[in-house]
Amino acid sequence: MSYIGKVPINVPKTVKLLCNSGIIKIKGPLGTNFIIIPKGVHLEIRGQQLRIKVLEKKYKENWGTTRKILNELINELGRGYEAHIKFDRIGFRVFLLEGGRQLHIKLGFANEIFWDIPRGIYAFSPDIRNLELFSISRERLNIFIAKIRNLRPPEPYKGTGILVNGEKITLKESTKDKTY
């Protein structure tokens, strides 16, 4: 029995679900998306709750996964996701160009980096060291953040770098500090 699959999904009033022969279209205030329901998985909508059922034992492997994917899509289209990126190192700077559609990043390299922000991701920069991102797709947002972070990974000895959502870097012990 799947402990995840048997939990009902609460659907907000702003999100509408349309079912058509194995395809669910999810329409919310932030956009529209769809998912193809695997064979053997059945959906039951009662009021503002969605339950996922599996009738045959051989299809139970898709039960919890289908529920988690549906829950994420409903939440994405209902409220979206945001991330805060802090450029925490001397010389690190971030600027928005072209009406917020392009990033100008300085990371201590000889050349400055100009990067287009993908469609569906919105950016705001309150100052030169912080960047706020918003998207209805958590997957797209995390991929974009990972690409930015790969430009200059965090420094484990100084505790500086590109930090996401207030994270703390665990410092490594320096070999200079050890006495033998």
pLDDT of residue 98: 86
The reply to whether 118 and 158 lie within a common domain is yes
Amino acid at 112: E
Examine residue 2 and state whether it is found in any structural domain, yes or no.
Answer: no
Place of tokens 């770098």: 161
CA 138/CA 107 separation, integer angstroms: 25
Domain enclosing residue 122, as ranges: 81-164
In whole angstroms, how large is the CA radius of gyration of the chain? 22
Examine residue 3 and state whether it is found in any structural domain, yes or no.
Answer: no
Convert the pLDDT of each residue in 143-159 to its tens digit: 999 999 999 988 888 88
CA 128/CA 81 separation, integer angstroms: 22
Confidence at 179, pLDDT banded by 50, 70, 90: low
Give burial (CB, 10 Å; 0-12/13-18/19+) of 177: exposed
Mean pLDDT (whole number) for 17-44: 88
The reply to whether 130 and 151 lie within a common domain is yes
The reply to whether 97 and 64 lie within a common domain is no
Residue 39, SS3?
coil
CATH code of the domain in which 151 resides: 3.90.930.12
**Can you give the pTM of this predicted structure?**
0.76
pLDDT at 180 over 70: no
Helix H or strand E segment including 65: helix 63-79
Higher pLDDT, residue 116 or 31: 116
pLDDT of residue 138: 86
The reply to whether 73 and 146 lie within a common domain is no
Collect all residues with Cβ–Cβ distance below 8 Å to 174 and sequence separation of at least 6: 157
